[in-house]
Structures are given as C-alpha cells and as structure tokens.
Chains A and B, each alone.
Chain A
Amino acid sequence: MRHLALAAAILLGSTALAGAETVYHRGNTAEPETLDQHLTSTIYESNILRDLYEGLVIDGADGSVQPGVAESWAMSDDGLVYTFTLRNDAKWSNGDPVTASDFVFSYRRILDPATGAKYADVLYPIDGAEAYNKGEADAETLGVRAPDDLTVEITLANATPYFLQLLTHQTSLPVHPATVEADPENFTKPGTMVSNGPYALSEWVPNAHIKAEKNANFHDADSVAIDTVYYYPTEDRAAALRRFEAGELDSNNDGPVEQMTYMSERLGDQLRIAPYLGTYYYAINTSKPPFDDARVRKALSMVIDREFLASEIWGDTMVAGYSLVPPGIDNYGEPAYADYKDMSLLDREDSALEMMKDAGFGPDNPLEVDIRFNTSENHQKTATAIADMWKPLGVETTLTNSDTKTHYAILRDRGDFDVARAGWIGDYSDPQNFLFLLESENEGFNYARYENMEYDNLMKRAAATNDLDERAGILFQAEEIFSRDQPYIPLMYYGSISLVSDRLQGWEDNLRNVHPTRFMSVGE
C-alpha cells in the first residue's frame, strides 16, 4: 500500500512537472532547406529563424516593425543613413553579448559572393552591397559600420522607405561570428548553433521535426510563455488537417483548399483565412505576336470572371484581383485597378469582342492560346475555367503543364510560351516590390518581356523620390500604365489559410502572415 502511494506521488509529481512545461506543436508546411539565415529563401525557414534569432528590428505579433536588438534608431534627413542603438542586455544563447560588430560580420557574410546567398539581392539598397556581392568591391566598402559596440550605422545607396521592414527579413538576422568561423559547415546543427532569439535549436531530424527550446539568455525570456516548440514539415495538407483534428498540431500554416467546406463546417473559428501580400497572375508573352497587341491582352483579361475563380475554385481562400499591387499594402493608397473592374461581365464581354475584332480575330480567324502552368490540381482547374471563359471570344485554348522546376526554368530562360501562370508573394509591404517585376531590366522576373520606357522612367523616378506621398503617386502612375497594357493578367490576391487551435493564444492574422512564437501562449 505504501509503495502504491509512493508510486502515485511520483506519478503525480512528474505529471505536474510535465504540465508546467508548455509545448507548442507547429505545422510548418515544408522541410527547411537550411537554417543558415544567409542561405535561406523560403517562408518555412523564416518561420523557424524568426524564433531562433533576433534582428535589429523584429516582426510584432501583428506583422508590424518592432524594436529587436536595436532599442531605438534614427534616420538622417536625406533618408540615407540609419543609426541603430543596440540594447545592452542582448545576449547570444551561450552568454556572449550581442555587439554591433556581429551585425557587420553578418552583413559582410551574406553579401560575400563566396557565400552563395540566394537572397543577397534583398539587401542591395545598402550602399556598396551590390558591388561587393558581384565581386567588384571589397567588404570594407559595404555601408554597414560599427562605430562602437552598441551602435550600428547603415548607409543606403538610395532612400528606401521600406528599409526597416526589409530588416525584418531573415537575411538580416545576425550569425554568431565565432561559431561560424569555427565550424562553417555545421554551425546550423543542434548543439553547435548559437542564436540570439527567444529560442535555441535543440533537435533537427530532417522530414520529422525541428525542436527549439526557450533560450534562457534571451533578454526578454521572462515574457516568453511557450517553453518548447516543435516544427513539423506538414507537406501533405490533408494529412496535416487530420493531425490538427486529432489534436497533434496546435497550428498549421496551410490547409487543403479542396476541403474548404469541410473545414469551415468542422473547425469554425479555428480556420483562419486572412488577406496575404501576394498576387496570382497570368504572364503574357508580349514579345510574341499576336500577344504584342495590347488589345488582345486586354480582351483576354476582361472576360475572366475572377469572382468565380476565387470562390468556386479556390473556396474563397483568394480574392478576385484587378491590379498587380494587392490592396492594403504600406506606402500606397488604393491600387490602380483595371478600368473594367466595376463593369458587368456582359458589358465586358461585348467590348472584349469588339477589341478582338479590331485586332483581327473572330469566328473565322480564332485566336489560339496555350496556357502553361505548374502541375497542381487547382492551377489546372483555374486554367480550364479560364479557357472556358475565353470561348465566347472564339479563343481556342490548349493547356500544358509541367513540374514547378521545369515551368519556371522555361519562364526564366525565355523559352517559348503564350500565357503562363505565375504568382508573386511580396518580400516586404511596398508597391515597388510588385511593380519592379515588369521593369524592362528585370530579366529574371519580367516573364512577360514587357518593355516600356515610360514605365521604366516612372520606376526610376520613384526610386529617387524621398517624399512618401509623391513616391506613392508616381508608383500609382506606373501601375496605371500596367493596367492599361496588361502584360500580366492579375487574377486573384492570395489569402493565407491557417489552422489555429483554440488552445493557442496570440496568433494574430496579418497581411504578411508572420507569427512569432514568442508572443503566443498555449492554454488548456
């Protein structure tokens, strides 16, 4: 009997202890390619790195820019020099203080051509960054300096109104110089990694999970409620939904679009759909007749019933889109919508027929269009629906699909295509990050091969303008030209789907879809 009581006490004691530790099981869509912040390129990686490291500034729970390692900052009047004052209690997970020189080291590392950083160009607004990354200048010429241990001074090449937001990107997260230098190949592994964020890496089993535990040396550790986070690569969205329903995941940052009805019936408030900073579009090959004719492009664009696509095919996880820049973006007003946005579909069809006739197409001379898309059930359905919407114009549509790598290789290498599906998720909340896609010099992204001097000049003028209102006006003019010429057919604005358990508090829906674990808590 006494033994039993003892055993019960031990059991109770251990469960009480286990209960004191809060664990967050976080579905994170895919396996990170790397946890080296300077080599990363995906959203899945940024979700983990945001918890492991802290930059000069950070994302708040609502996606706004908040002080991080820097407790304050000042911008020079010309907008070119930012001076950050670091907090004096910031520490690395091994107890070392976080110093200004750590940031200098980190920026030099990501921009070093030998590093081979995929996203280095995000930092090109920094003075000397582009030249250094292209191997044309030395590290010393980079505009990031440390006048003392607690001051980081960053000089920009041009005024960049979204610069602070840029610094929340994972490319701006610092690395621990001594660890990187000691073991450049393995500093991202558990046991070796030294990080300065609210969490520290403790396990990484590829394709199974990543485990991070609260970093006791973090300056704000007292306010971090969750002790342990597990990130799971939940590639199979339907399986993730089942794991969520079984209570094995507290959140998952995606969901199976094809099960929208089921999810909204079963999950209620736990299904979150929020506007997202992205546009789903079709690029038209403007270098190829007859697609070089703006009338043809506009006619094709006008007759598409975007509301149908968004609600019937994408289950309202997308919103019908009539502009390249999604609404709600910072440093901008309402986007420059296409002029037919508020016309009825029937009227749109009539004027589209007219335009096609002017361009020389009709029942006896049908336009042939091939739509290329990367293999996916919903891209296929979207293309099929669009082909059907084009029928009244006498357009004969064929569909060609290929895997994602092949698809984008064809777009980038200037392969032959008529119309191709693509999408863009903004890296930062600024219209420039969408409109720059169509600059004629932008070889990588300008799938439409659109060349318009007037557009290019407006973009250059905007880049040189410090006054935010004036800049917004110039960018708006550029988007008006885009809407007139329609080198891309904007179809929908992305929405983000998240499954968030009632147990999890502090998950705030936001346009950039960022959800730092440090502001969350797990209840019963």
Chain B
Amino acid sequence: MSAVEVDDLVVRYGDLVAVDHVSFRAEAGEVTVVLGPNGAGKTSTIEVCEGYRPASSGTATVLGLDPRRHQAQLSRRMGVMLQEGGVSLGARVCDVARLYCDLYGKGVQPVALLDSVGLADRARSTYRRLSGGEKQRLSLALALAGRPDVAFLDEPTSGVDVTGRQMIRTIVRDLAATGCAVVLATHELDEAERIADHVVIFDHGRVIADDTLDALRRGHDEIRFRSSVTLAHHDLSSALHLPVRVLGNGEYAVDGEAVHVAALTAWLAQHDEPLLDLRAGRQRLEDVFMRLTGGTP
C-alpha cells in the first residue's frame, strides 16, 4: 500500500472541472513532486488528500485512511503547509510554534522546531515582521511539529531567496529520509528537478506524466551550446542529420547524444563559429514539460 493513493479523482467547482480523473501514488520515504502551472489542479488535489475538500468523484486514500471520514486520525499523522498564510499577522513566532507543538503533542520542542528552520533568532517577532522566506520557513516548521508520516507542502519555496530555498530543500530531503511521504506541489520546474524522487505532471486538471525524474528524462538526450547569434543552424542540422533548435541569445539545442559532440565541434571549427559553452546529457525537466505540454510552464 502506498502512503498516498489517488484514484480517478475528479473535483468540480460548479461547471469547472479543476481535477479531471487524476490517479497517482506517493510512497513513504520519497519526495513526490506534483508539478504544473497555476490552475492545473494541484492544490485542489492536495486539498482532497488533506481532507479539506470533498472529491466530486473518485477516491483519495492517505496512510490507508479516508481523509474526510478519518480526518481526526489522519490529522495526527499529517503535516500541512499551505500555499500562503495560515498564521495571524499579529501572532508571535514562538507562540505559534508552541501552539502547534502542543496541538500535536509529539514532544517536539518549539525552540528546537524553530531552530530547525533557522528561525530561532526570530522567535519574538510577530508574523507580519517576517520576510517572505521566513514566513515560508515558519509554515514549513508548523508542518513538521507533529513528526508527520505524510506531509503535503504547497509551493514551499515560493517567494524564497536562494539561501532559503537551499535550507527548505535540505529540510524536505531530511523529512523524507525519516520515512515520511512528502507530497510537494510546485509550478517551479527547477525546484522540482532539484528535489523530486518522483514527478507527477499536471496540465489542465489531468496527469500527463507520472514517473521518476530519471525515467521522465531518459531517452531525450540533447546537446546544448552557445555560439554566435547568426549561426547557420539549418546547415548545421543538415550536416549532423539531427534537429537543431534555436533557444535564443545564441543558445542552441541539438537533439543528439554525447557521441555527436565531436561532429558538432568540428563543424563549428570549420565554419569559424565560436563555441562558448557546451553541455551534453539528458534533457532538463523544463524541456520534458515543454515536450509534454507543448506550452510554457
């Protein structure tokens, strides 16, 4: 049994179908990233899993429990981070941490909890005085207050600076290492690429891909390089017998593998074109997403 099992889930708001027959699994000890543009149905799906929203049809099972019928049981084992908010502006950080530690009663100390997200020195501040990144870290801390077996984190790095993102990624990885099933929703492809074990890609309320990160990128190797903006890419494509895509600002992508690098560099040298940068390997998640959706993330 998987920690989270979503089967044929449909969520409707009036005539709008926000989640359209979605199915996926999330396993304990893994970070499952639910990826997709805003409005793709990620948050609605997660809210059904949290027991906050009823399913129009289909089922969601979390830790073997029905999130609506067994909300009280599930809430003791579940950590939740909302996309935004969740704390009163005037509340002090230490008081909020203490409240959540007391509500879960799992012996987590508020000071240690705040320290784990780098907010120990902000304990006396009110929520309104925290920066965007600090608010996200506090929200993440509250999701950890009950030592959860499953955690639903909605856009945890949204609006967070580079240092904060690094810290949040480390915390999320550590959380999964404890055996917790982490379900993380994001629209940021880079973030998903850095943290995911498993990726579920949503588009227009449907799941269009569901696999490990490696599997999604496998079989779609490319060579990226930078050269002059006037490069005769059609000629290059003919010479290599491979598609060459213009990415802009002198950046190009050849749908080929590492063995084609020699031919590429030779052609550039022959035509007196500079080679400013070169990377060969699997496609980035962004490219996978573009390939699957044919649109922009």
Asked if A and B bind, the verdict is no
